Amino acid sequence: MTSAIASSLAGLLTMAVMAAPAASASIDAKYDVSLLGLTLGTASLSGGIDSDSYSLDVAARLTGLIGGFTGGRGSGEAKGSLGGARPSPATFAISSANSSESRTVRMAIGGGAVQAVEIAPPIDAKADRVPLTDEHRRNIVDPLSAFLMPVNTKNGLNGACNRTLQIFDGAARYDIKLSHAGTREVTMEGYSGPVAICQARYVPIAGHRALRPSTKFMAENRDISAWLAPVAGTNVMLPVRISVRTMIGTAVIEASSFKVDPGVTASAAKRN
């Protein structure tokens, strides 16, 4: 369950429009994780943008009865630079664990291409796993860096969603195709204002289990959406809500708090 939440966090939440370099801001967001309307756990996203660089940290844990049984938890971090239509990641790491297993993925990335990957323990080889090639490790972003979506401020919210996120998570290469589905007003701690509503499609490319029913289900899934909110003081947007219909019901990751300090670097925010 933790891996699924991490994938959703990291996998749903940068292609089309060229953007000016982002300014500085620190980010501190809290999310509730639910399935079929029942709260499963919490997640947090912190870090920020320092001129043309970024640093993000994410953590998630299951709570209540499910958390007591599974001990599910996960965390990750990503760093890189900004200055174009999408982030240019440099490092990515994510760890997940429950009562029966744990796994850590670390990646070094340069020029949009994966330079090194370490997965511990290694993922078991399966006959139906689609082989990865060097091409699948180029022109990619990691799942966490994909949260940062630079926009052309002249287009407002209308152009925020029209992009394809080309994601490599260390084991699989897939696209998340976003398209504009409208806007709405939201109110939460730290933010009140408009968000862009994106419809999302999952497109498996390589590294996935081709014969798994869940793969076919997700590739045909039309009930995936993300809401993007602007990060004040920058030209970047971040998800404040992700909704995914799964094989057992709809999972939702929704921000209860979205605090941004424009003009404050992430390093300065940590000192304070």
Token couple for 262? 């424009």
Euclidean distance between CA atoms 115 and 97, whole angstroms: 26
The tens digit of pLDDT for each residue in 71-110 reads: 478 999 999 999 777 899 999 999 998 877 899 999 999 9
Task: Give the model's pLDDT for residue 264.
Answer: 60
Task: Give the model's pLDDT for residue 70.
Answer: 46
Does the pLDDT of residue 153 top 80, yes or no? no
Region 258-269 average pLDDT: 70
Euclidean distance between CA atoms 183 and 237, whole angstroms: 14
Query: Which single residue is written with the structure tokens 């993007």?
Result: 228
Residues 111 and 98 sit within 8 Å (Cβ to Cβ): no
Residues 238 and 27 sit within 8 Å (Cβ to Cβ): yes
Region 227-232 average pLDDT: 94
Does the pLDDT of residue 171 top 70, yes or no? yes
Task: Give the model's pLDDT for residue 205.
Answer: 98
- Domain extents in the chain: 2-271
Query: Which single residue is written with the structure tokens 């991490």?
Result: 6
pTM as predicted: 0.85
Region 249-256 average pLDDT: 95
Euclidean distance between CA atoms 165 and 72, whole angstroms: 27
Does the pLDDT of residue 50 top 60, yes or no? yes
Residues 107 and 117 sit within 8 Å (Cβ to Cβ): yes
Q: Which residue has the higher pLDDT, 144 or 268?
A: 144
Region 26-35 average pLDDT: 95
Element (H, E) at 139: none
Region 196-206 average pLDDT: 97
